[in-house]
Amino acid sequence: MSIFLYIFIVIAFVISNVFQLFNSISIETQIIASTFFIMLVGIPHGSLDHLLLPNQNFKSKLKFYTIYIGLILLNLFVWSLSNMIGLITFFLISSYHFGESQLYKFDLKNKFISHFSYLCWGASVIVSFLFYNIDELVILSNSYDDTRNLLSNINLNLFSYLFIVCNTITLILYIFFIYQFNIKVNKVISEIFFLFVIHLSSFLFPLLICFTLFFIILHSLPSLVNQYNYFRATNNNFAIKDFIALMTPYSLVSILFIVFISFCSYSNVINYSIPLISIILISVITLPHSFIISKFNESLTK
């Protein structure tokens, strides 16, 4: 069991005791806590994208920023065409990104199987969050007109089918890894246990809490450790304080931008609710970030 999964289980145990003590935690408290920890850990884990690739991957920094910003603008264009298409695109990109971040270490030699596995694994996790907390999703969506209209275009029964299909395919793929790629059985069992813990937390906790726990502890923290080790490998004197100092300026800029956009939404300067504009902002950043992290993780397996 990885140290991150151990931390996840310990914190989940603490939160479960908090729920037993107070019976419930208000949605406002959940939003505040989730936002705080996402800003504290989630945003920094993507703040150094521009430093994670060797120079030879792009001929110049100009080309890098052109591609990065171009992907952001492309995603914004998709959302401007249709919120539903934007949401589906966000789901697919996030699924692939989560799956790739978890399974890249298997270093499968078949690219099609690798990409398909990443997509199915990530989709099984995201759909599980929603499947176990569908009532809360409806309540949260009904708080604003635009999110309610967006959810009204989705057949909620679809989550049940996706839940069964994605998780079944993921389990079949794990078995396939053993027989086709000679992945050790104990590694596959560890991954199955990993998924079991995610399912259990999704069943026990509200949507915002189970997602935040996963995103912070099982996704962002491992990525931060990989990034720190990457810089450490090129400079033996590189310390944690240097890593924090490197992340802080870009993280603060991102946080200030999010606060500014949220204020514009709250003041009706932007005709989108804060939840929807938050989804859009996360979506447009996830596309280029997942592209960079995919290249970065690929370099780690070489």
Q: Is 169 a member of any domain?
A: yes
Task: Look at residue 118 and tell me whether its pLDDT is greater than 90.
Answer: yes
Q: Is 234 a member of any domain?
A: no
The pLDDT, as a whole number, for residue 196 is: 94
Residues 196 and 121 in one domain: yes
Tens digits of per-residue pLDDT, 172-230? 999 999 988 888 999 999 999 999 999 999 999 999 999 999 999 999 999 999 999 99
Q: Is 33 a member of any domain?
A: no
Structural tokens at position 107: 């270093």
User: Mean pLDDT in the chain?
Assistant: 88
User: What share of the chain in percent tops pLDDT 70?
Assistant: 97
Separation between Cα atoms, residue 201 and residue 108, nearest integer Å: 29
The pLDDT, as a whole number, for residue 300 is: 75
Question: What single-letter DSSP state applies at residue 43?
Answer: T
Q: Are 250 and 258 in contact (CB under 8 A)?
A: no
Average of pLDDT values for 284-289?
88
- 52 band by pLDDT with thresholds 50, 70 and 90: confident
Residues 120 and 191 in one domain: yes
Residues 202 and 295 in one domain: no
Residues 208 and 301 in one domain: no
Q: Is 59 a member of any domain?
A: no
Structural tokens at position 176: 């396939």
Q: Is 49 a member of any domain?
A: no
From residue 1, alpha-carbon distances to 99, 197, 205, 272 in Å are 18, 11, 22, 42
**Residue 138 belongs to what domain range?**
108-214
Q: Is 159 a member of any domain?
A: yes
Q: Are 238 and 164 in contact (CB under 8 A)?
A: no
Residues 114 and 196 in one domain: yes
Task: Give every CB contact of residue 41 below 8 A, 6+ residues apart in sequence.
Answer: 216, 220, 221, 224
Give the number of residues written for the chain.
302
Residues 243 and 210 in one domain: no
Average of pLDDT values for 112-140?
93
Residues 257 and 209 in one domain: no
- 60 band by pLDDT with thresholds 50, 70 and 90: low
Q: Is 119 a member of any domain?
A: yes
The pLDDT, as a whole number, for residue 228 is: 93
> What pTM was estimated for this model as a whole?
0.91
Tens digits of per-residue pLDDT, 15-45? 888 887 777 777 878 888 888 888 888 889 9
- 236 band by pLDDT with thresholds 50, 70 and 90: confident
Residue ending a domain, choose from 158, 179, 214: 214
Separation between Cα atoms, residue 218 and residue 11, nearest integer Å: 12
Question: If you average pLDDT over each of 105-114, 116-125, 226-235, which comes out highest?
Answer: 116-125
The number of folded domains in the chain is 2
Q: Is 223 a member of any domain?
A: no
CA atoms within 13 A on the CB side of 118: 24
Separation between Cα atoms, residue 118 and residue 295, nearest integer Å: 14
Structural tokens at position 256: 């200030």
Separation between Cα atoms, residue 249 and residue 295, nearest integer Å: 24
